[in-house]
Amino acid sequence: MNSEPLTISYTMNRLNQLFAAKKENLLSIYYTAGYPALNTTVDIAEALEKAGADFLEVGFPYSDPVADGPTIQHSSEQALINGMTLDHLFEELTELRKRVTIPILLMGYFNPIVQYGIERFCKKAAELGVDGVIVPDLPMYEYEALYSTHFINNNLSNIFLVTPQTSPDRIRKIDELSNSFIYLLSSSSITGGSLQLTNSIEDYYKRIKAMELKNPTIIGFGISDNATFKKACEYANGAIVGSKFVKLLAEDDYMKKIPAFIQNIRP
Amino acid sequence: MKIKVCGLKYPDNIEAVAALKPDYMGFICYDRTPRYIDTLSADALATIPASIHKTGVFVNETAEVISQLIDQYGFDTIQLHGDENAEFAAAFKGRVTVIKAFGVDNDFDFDKLNAYASYVDYFLFDTKTSIYGGSGKTFNWRILDKYTLNIPFFLSGGISLDNIGELKNITHPQFYAVDLNSQFEDEPGLKNIPKLEKAFDIIKNRTLQMKYGVNEHGYYGDFGGAYIPEMLYPNVEELRQQYLNIINDPDFKAEFNDLLKNYVGRPSPLYHAKRYSEKYGANIFFKREDLNHTGSHKINNAIGQILLAKRLGKKRIIAETGAGQHGVATATVCALMGIECVVYMGEIDMARQAPNVSRMKMLGATVRPASSGSKTLKDATNEALRDWIANPVDTHYIIGSVVGPYPYPDMVARFQSIISEETKKQLVEHTGKELPEYVLACVGGGSNAMGMFYHFLDDEQVKLVAVEAAGKGVDSGHSAATTFLGNEGVLHGSRTILMQTPDGQVVEPYSISAGLDYPGIGPQHAHLYKINRAQYVSVTDDEAMKAGLLCSQMEGIIPAIESSHALAQLEKMKFNPTDNVVICLSGRGDKDLDTFIKYFGY
With 50 as the cut, is the pLDDT of residue A3 above it? no
Helix, strand, or coil here: B179? strand
Using CB atoms and an 8 Å cut-off, which of residues 159-178 of chain A contact chain B? 160-163, 165-167, 170
- pLDDT tops 70 at residue B207: no
| Structural class in CATH, domain B2-212 | alpha beta
CB contact under 8 A, B506 and A110: no
The residue with greater pLDDT, B244 or A191, is: B244
> Do B489 and A114 count as a contact with CB atoms less than 8 A apart?
yes
Contacts of A167 in chain B (CB under 8 A): 234
Contacts of B389 in chain A (CB under 8 A): 66-67, 188-190
Asked whether residue A198 carries a pLDDT value surpassing 90, the answer given is no
Please tell me if residue B241 touches chain A, with a CB cutoff of 8 Å. no
Q: What is the ipTM of this complex?
A: 0.91
Mean local confidence (pLDDT), A164-179:
94
CB contact under 8 A, B217 and A145: yes
Percent above pLDDT 90 for chain A: 81
Question: What's the pLDDT band for B134 if we cut at 50, 70, 90?
Answer: low
- In chain B, the residue whose alpha carbon lies closest to the alpha carbon of A136 is B229
Residue of A nearest to B233 (CA): A166
- Cα separation, B46 vs A79, in Å, equals 73
Chain B residue numbers with beta carbons less than 8 Å from the beta carbon of A70 are 372
- CB distance A163–B372 less than 8 Å? no
Alpha-carbon gap, residue B568 to B446, rounded angstroms: 17
B chain contacts of residue A124, beta-carbon cutoff 8 Å: none
Q: Do B228 and A63 touch (CB under 8 A)?
A: no
- Rounded mean pLDDT of chain B? 93
Check CB contact under 8 Å for B504 and A62. yes
pLDDT-derived band at A194 (thresholds 50, 70, 90) equals: low
**B230/chain A closest Cα distance in angstroms:** 6
**pLDDT number for residue A7:** 45
Question: Residue A8 has what pLDDT?
Answer: 45
Helix (H) / strand (E) containing B484: helix B482-485
Residues A190, A123: Cα–Cα separation, whole Å: 30
Kindly state the greatest CA–CA separation across chain A.
Answer: 56
Distance from the Cα of A62 to chain B's closest Cα (Å) equals 6
For range A77-95, the mean pLDDT:
97
Residue in chain B lying closest to A89 (CA) = B503
Which of these, A39, A45, A106, A36, lies nearest to A258 by C-alpha position?
A45
Residues of chain B with pLDDT > 90, as a percent, come to: 80
Q: How is domain B223-263+295-410 classified at the CATH fold level?
A: Rossmann fold (3.40.50)
Q: Does residue B591 sit at the A interface (CB-CB below 8 Å)?
A: no
The separation between CA A112 and the C-alpha centre of its own chain, rounded to angstroms, equals 17
Could you give the CA distance from residue A209 to residue B45 in angstroms, rounded to a whole number? 72
Instruction: Identify the band that residue B210 occupies on the pLDDT scale cut at 50, 70 and 90.
Output: low
Q: Residue B97: helix, strand or coil by DSSP?
A: strand
Asked if A139 and B233 come within 8 Å (Cβ–Cβ), the reply is: yes
CA-CA distances (angstroms) from residue B154 to A131, B6, B102, B151, B178?
Answer: 54, 12, 10, 10, 6
Contacts 24+ apart (CB under 8 A), B64-69: B65/B29, B66/B29, B66/B92, B69/B29
Q: Is the pLDDT at B181 greater than 80, yes or no?
A: yes
Residue A117 contacts B where some CB pair is shorter than 8 Å = no
**Which of B216, B219, B230 would you mutate first to test chain A, the one with the most A CBs within 10 A?**
B230
Quick one: pLDDT at residue B397?
97
Average pLDDT over residues B261-283: 98
Instruction: Walk me through the domains of chain A, giving residue ranges and CATH numbers.
Output: 25-265 (3.20.20.70)
Q: How many CA atoms lie within 13 A of B382 on its CB side?
A: 27
Identify whether B320 is a catalytic site residue: yes
Cβ–Cβ < 8 Å for B453, B420: yes
Domain pair B223-263+295-410 / B265-292+416-600, same fold: yes
Please tell me the predicted confidence (pLDDT) of residue B142.
85
pLDDT bucket at A197, cuts 50 / 70 / 90: low
Percent of all residues in chain B with a pLDDT value above 70, rounded to a whole number: 98
Selected residue with higher pLDDT from A127 and B322: A127
Q: Does the beta carbon of B216 lie under 8 angstroms from any beta carbon of chain A?
A: no
Q: Burial letters for B170-208: b for 16+ Cβ neighbours within 10 Å, e otherwise?
A: eeeeebbbbbbbbbbbeeebebbeebbeebbebbebbbb
Q: Distance (Å, rounded) from C-alpha A73 to C-alpha A89? A: 18
**Which residues of B fall within a CB distance of 8 Å from A77?**
372-373
**Partner B contacted by A35 (CB < 8 A):** no
**A182 close contact with B: CB closer than 8 A:** no
What is the greatest pairwise CA distance in chain B? 80
Q: Which residues of A touch B505 (CB under 8 A)?
A: 62-63, 80, 112
B511-548 pLDDT tens trace: 999 889 899 999 999 999 999 999 999 999 999 999 99
Residue A64 contacts B where some CB pair is shorter than 8 Å: yes
Q: B265-292+416-600 has which fold? A: Rossmann fold (3.40.50)
For chain B, give every domain's residue range: 2-212, 223-263+295-410, 265-292+416-600
Q: Which of B185, B320, B543, B562 is catalytic?
A: B320
Q: Read off the pLDDT of each residue in A139-146 and give the average, rounded to a whole number.
A: 91
